[in-house]
Amino acid sequence: MVGPGSIDPWSSEQSTDYERIIKQFGLTPVDVGSLPNPGMLHRRGIVFAHRDLDVITGCMSKGDPFGVLTGLMPSGRMHLGHSMVIEQVRWFQEQGADVSVAVADLEALATRGTSLSNGRETALHEYVLNYAALGLDPDKTDVYFQSSRPEVQRLGFTLGKRTNLSELEAIYGFGGETNLAHVQAPLVQVGDIVHPQLDDFGGLRPIVVPVGVDQDPHLRLTRDISQKTNWFNVKKRKSGGLTLALSVQEGNQKEMGVFEDGGIDMEARNKLIAKLVESISELGFSDIKSNPKHGTIEIPGATMSDRFTIRMQALLIERELGGLGLIPPCSTYHRFAVGMTGDKMSSSKPESTIFMDDEIESMEKKVKRAISGGQPTVEEHRRLGGDITKDVAYQYLQFFFEREDASLEEIKSEYESGRMLAGEVKQICIDRATEWLIDLKEKRAQLEESVKDFLAPDAI
């Protein structure tokens, strides 16, 4: 079920009209040139859009701390589609991120009926083991369970005050018959995404969440809620520069210098404004005009690129005064790999999916049956060439198995020129997939005992 203009994160339908998605959801296309050491999925246009990724690349270039958060639904077997997120998590980790992994055992209970104990088993032996085999660093990775991290649930509960049923109806298409556990699951996910910023989990720093577009509703909800909690907003000033404005809300009147009757407590207000002005001047801005009565501070000399630094300063003050001080999460979006049979890759359709622990013979059968972009006859193929946009085997090389750009380019040009036949592309895919699966299997066997090293203390 889905509201107008929305994507249902729990549906098996997937839209692949990425241009439309960018426009409709207000995402920004990824500019590969702006990334330091772009990874394979960036270079190939598979990670195609983002929100606020520049905040993260800013941290990378300055060596400032940032985190990456991902979540897994512990139901079913892990397949190739899942590995795409891990590839990105690993890339962020290599660029300096700390990593938090949420085992969405409460969500699996709510939406799939998976018991907590089955969820735990699946998470550890299926997902975390594969994450280890895919190369995450146990020293910089913390896996936790939604059900055993009270802070996540508490945030889900308290941040619930910042939204209402109509918003959830609009985002997720919930209605009167929706199960309440299902309504709570997205709020727990808001807690997942926000909690690494709490002082006990690494403190104030940007967090990036790499996802498929199906998860964007959760990110929109989290960004919206985080912004609503902010005590100070930093906006573009009409006549140039930036303006910092107080946001008076339930629970912060006293700190904002507002009396219970709504009048302004000028003494408290002046003190607050002076504190903010002092911390902004510490950043090197000298021309600062404040209007304590309106609760605004104007910084004509600041540019949009100073916005983040000023916001961080304001968030620190907000925390000092007792607020949550949350940065809205950043996110990246990847394209979906097609299923072998041309539809969505899903654990419930084993014939369309390659699983992380598939036997070689079984993988081989699926690739041989996969939809190809070859022409009906060899003669036509030699003349017209193959179509990579339809060829599943080629796309699997591009998304997963062929890590060398030059080799991939060569396959592409050979195939498109008709020199290479669809069967030959399939055979290359099978060869590379064989190496890939065998390597992963060996790593899983080596790392079985290391799963516990990935667990946060509250997950043991």
SS3 at position 121: helix
Identify the CA nearest to 443 among candidates 128, 161, 148. 128
Q: Which of these ranges, 70-78, 259-267, 282-290, 344-352, lies near ligand TRP under the rule CB under 6 A? A: 70-78
Tokens of 126: 């299926």
- By beta-carbon proximity to ligand TRP, the closer residue of 258 and 356 is 356
- Terminal Cα distance for the chain, rounded: 37
Q: With both helix axes pointing from N to C terminus, report the angle between 165-172 and 216-229 in degrees, rounded to the nearest 10.
A: 150
Distance CA 425, CA 391 (A): 9
Q: Which of these ranges, 185-193, 198-206, 267-275, 372-380, lies near ligand TRP under the rule CB under 6 A? A: 185-193
Residues 213-272 that bind ligand TRP (CB under 6 A): 215
Per CB under 6 A, 69 contacts ligand TRP: yes
Which residue's CB atom is positioned nearest to ligand TRP?
71
Tokens of 133: 């085999």
Task: Give phi and psi for 296, each to the nearest 5.
Answer: -130, 150
Rounded least distance, CB 73 to ligand TRP, Å: 4
Instruction: Report whether 141 contacts 99 (CB < 8 A).
Output: yes
Per CB under 6 A, 30 contacts ligand TRP: no
SS3 at position 16: coil
- By beta-carbon proximity to ligand TRP, the closer residue of 186 and 373 is 186
Distance CA 370, CA 392 (A): 6
Rounded least distance, CB 189 to ligand TRP, Å: 4
- By beta-carbon proximity to ligand TRP, the closer residue of 89 and 420 is 89
Residues 87-146 that bind ligand TRP (CB under 6 A): 102, 104, 107
- By beta-carbon proximity to ligand TRP, the closer residue of 192 and 255 is 192
Per CB under 6 A, 208 contacts ligand TRP: no
* 240 C-beta neighbours (distance < 10 Å), count: 12
- By beta-carbon proximity to ligand TRP, the closer residue of 55 and 194 is 194
Per-residue binding string, ligand TRP, 188-207, x by CB under 6 A, is: -x--xx--------------
Task: Give phi and psi for 388, each to the nearest 5.
Answer: -70, -25
Rounded least distance, CB 343 to ligand TRP, Å: 19
CA atoms within 13 A on the CB side of 132: 26
Rounded least distance, CB 3 to ligand TRP, Å: 17
Give the one residue of 57, 70, 83, 153 binding ligand TRP; rule: CB under 6 A.
70
Amino acid (1-letter code) at residue 120: R
- By beta-carbon proximity to ligand TRP, the closer residue of 59 and 211 is 211
CA atoms within 13 A on the CB side of 106: 24
Q: Which of these ranges, 44-52, 187-195, 272-280, 382-390, lies near ligand TRP under the rule CB under 6 A? A: 187-195
The 8-class DSSP code of residue 328 comes to P
Identify the CA nearest to 37 among candidates 59, 60, 58. 60
Per-residue binding string, ligand TRP, 381-400, x by CB under 6 A, is: --------------------
- By beta-carbon proximity to ligand TRP, the closer residue of 71 and 385 is 71
Q: Which of these ranges, 69-77, 157-165, 354-362, 434-442, lies near ligand TRP under the rule CB under 6 A? A: 69-77
Q: Which of these ranges, 149-157, 208-216, 280-288, 415-423, lies near ligand TRP under the rule CB under 6 A? A: 208-216
Rounded to 10 degrees, the C-alpha dihedral 245/250/256/261 comes to 120
Which stretches within 63-144 are classed as H helix?
A: 80-94, 105-112, 116-122, 129-133
The 8-class DSSP code of residue 251 comes to T
- By beta-carbon proximity to ligand TRP, the closer residue of 196 and 339 is 196
* Residues near ligand TRP (CB under 6 A), total: 13
All residues at 6 or more sequence positions from 106 whose CB lies less than 8 Å from its CB, including other chains = 146, 147, 153, 184, 185, 188
Radius of gyration for the chain, computed over Cα atoms and rounded to the nearest angstrom: 25
- By beta-carbon proximity to ligand TRP, the closer residue of 193 and 338 is 193
Rounded least distance, CB 332 to ligand TRP, Å: 11
- By beta-carbon proximity to ligand TRP, the closer residue of 192 and 298 is 192
Distance CA 196, CA 215 (A): 19
Give the one residue of 21, 68, 208, 209 binding ligand TRP; rule: CB under 6 A.
209
Rounded least distance, CB 110 to ligand TRP, Å: 10
Task: Give phi and psi for 297, each to the nearest 5.
Answer: -130, 125
Distance CA 227, CA 315 (A): 11
Give the one residue of 73, 324, 338, 392 binding ligand TRP; rule: CB under 6 A.
73
Question: What residue ranges bind ligand TRP (CB under 6 A)?
Answer: 69-71, 73, 102, 104, 107, 189, 192-193, 209, 211, 215
